[in-house]
């Protein structure tokens, strides 16, 4: 009985982690699309995203832990670098 309960809890936690990971990827994709759509000469952008759900807030918090975003209340600011990968490799040699 206890092993069945633990298996269910483990499955729910795994599902939650997968959902947060998918939301994190979606937030990053939205931020990059927004930055690329601006077509400004800069390669570094700060994109502001309004968070609408608890899952989005958790994903933004994890992005903040990774140093990719800052979060204040229901607003997440994601830093996006639109430098072309080939040029970025040349800069880091």
Kindly report, residue by residue over 54-81, the tens digit of the pLDDT.
Answer: 999 999 999 999 999 999 989 999 998 8
More confidently predicted of 21 and 87: 21
Domain ranges of the chain: 2-91
With vertex at residue 53, the alpha carbon angle to CA 51 and CA 54, rounded to the nearest 5 degrees, is 110
Distance, C-alpha 73 to centroid of its chain: 16
User: H or E element: which one contains 38?
Assistant: helix 2-38
Q: What per-residue confidence (pLDDT) applies to 42?
A: 75
Q: What per-residue confidence (pLDDT) applies to 16?
A: 85
CA max distance for the chain: 62
> pTM (2 decimals)?
0.79
Q: What per-residue confidence (pLDDT) applies to 40?
A: 74
DSSP E strand stretches across the chain? 44-50, 69-72, 75-81
């Amino acid at each position: 009985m206890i092993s069945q309960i633990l298996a269910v809890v483990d499955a729910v936690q795994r599902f939650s982690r997968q959902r947060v990971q998918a939301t994190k990827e979606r937030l990053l994709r939205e931020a990059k699309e927004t930055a690329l759509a601006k077509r400004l000469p800069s390669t570094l952008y700060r994109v502001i995203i309004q968070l609408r759900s608890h899952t989005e807030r958790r994903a933004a918090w994890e992005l903040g832990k990774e140093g990719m975003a800052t979060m204040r209340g229901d607003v997440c600011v994601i830093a996006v670098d639109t430098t072309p990968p080939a040029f970025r490799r040349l800069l880091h040699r």
